[in-house]
């Protein structure tokens, strides 16, 4: 296992979002059924969850199954549903012992009753845990998330529970799937594609986007640490200038600069 630099440890993201791409291509390269790639990807998921927990990262959100994935071959969708059930059953007790809180986001009504029960049971078992919050996006789409929040806020207005004038970003954000958590600081996508694919389109507005060619089943602890090292080298400005960010990090810096300029001007006037 690789070791992070001191600077990386000091500036780790609070919330990481991951699109775990490349399972099918990993299997195809080995002349295996696509289901074998998804099973292999579980190991990488387990490793990144354990790594986030050890690093005291507040939240990890992973894209397990998008609302668009229903259009894949029926055999692959079926194998994914069975994998969800077996993985939840096998992993949730381990996660609970590690103080991980499990939460699912997305429209779960389309899932079978058996899978819905596994989801509900895992959330109930871990609901009081205070460590890493693991958010699993299943039958989730970013546009669905926004539309769902808009429907809820429209219902509040219709029922006279909210005035139109009170609708702002904060109000809408409070009704999104990840309300109560900070927005992801770092977005990671494996597999070489460079898009967010309808994942957390509201929440990723100011996230740092990290793309890597490594296929998800091959994504290692070293690959994860490389992403974190890359993140610490980014300057997160949120609309400000680079100079403003530096001044914010070193209080009094801008004042000292202006004082120095004033002193230089005074000396210059005395020499005339």
105: helix, coil or strand? strand
Rounded CA-CA distance 269/257 in Å is 19
- Residue from 177, 197, 234, 206 nearest 61 by CA: 177
Rounded CA-CA distance 112/121 in Å is 14
> Which entry of 6, 21, 56, 166 is annotated as an active-site residue?
21
166 is catalytic: no
Q: What is the DSSP string of 94-128?
A: HHHHTTPEEEEES-GGGS-HHHHHHHHHHHHHHTT
Cβ atoms within 10 Å of 12's Cβ, excluding its own: 18
> Which entry of 69, 96, 148, 173 is annotated as an active-site residue?
69
Is beta strand 208-211 parallel, antiparallel or unpaired with respect to 186-189?
A: parallel
69 is catalytic: yes
Q: Name 263's bridge partners.
A: none
Kindly list the catalytic residues: 21, 69
């Amino acid at each position: 296992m690789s070791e992070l630099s001191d600077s990386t440890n000091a500036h780790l993201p609070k919330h990481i979002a991951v699109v775990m791409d490349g399972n099918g291509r990993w299997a195809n390269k080995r002349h295996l059924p696509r289901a074998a790639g998804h099973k292999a990807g579980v190991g990488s998921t387990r490793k990144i969850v354990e790594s986030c927990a050890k690093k005291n990262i507040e939240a990890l959100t992973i894209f397990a199954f998008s609302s668009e994935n229903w259009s894949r071959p029926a055999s692959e969708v079926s194998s994914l549903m069975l994998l969800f059930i077996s993985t939840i059953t096998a992993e949730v007790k381990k996660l609970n012992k590690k103080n991980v809180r499990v939460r699912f986001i997305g429209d779960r009504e389309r899932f079978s009753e058996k899978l819905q029960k596994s989801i509900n049971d895992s959330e109930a078992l871990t609901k009081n845990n205070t460590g890493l919050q693991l958010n699993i996006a299943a039958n989730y789409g970013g546009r669905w998330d926004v539309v769902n929040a808009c429907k809820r806020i429209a219902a509040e207005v219709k029922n006279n529970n909210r005035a139109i004038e009170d609708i702002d970003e904060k109000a809408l954000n409070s009704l999104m799937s990840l309300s109560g958590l900070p927005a992801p600081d770092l977005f990671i996508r494996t597999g070489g594609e460079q898009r967010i694919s309808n994942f957390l389109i509201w929440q990723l507005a100011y996230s740092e986007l990290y793309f890597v060619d490594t296929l998800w089943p091959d994504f290692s602890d070293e690959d994860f640490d490389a992403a974190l090292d890359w993140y610490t080298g980014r300057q997160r400005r949120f609309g400000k200038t680079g100079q403003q960010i530096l001044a914010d990090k070193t209080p009094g810096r801008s004042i000292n600069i202006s004082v120095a300029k004033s002193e230089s001007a005074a000396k210059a006037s005395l020499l005339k």
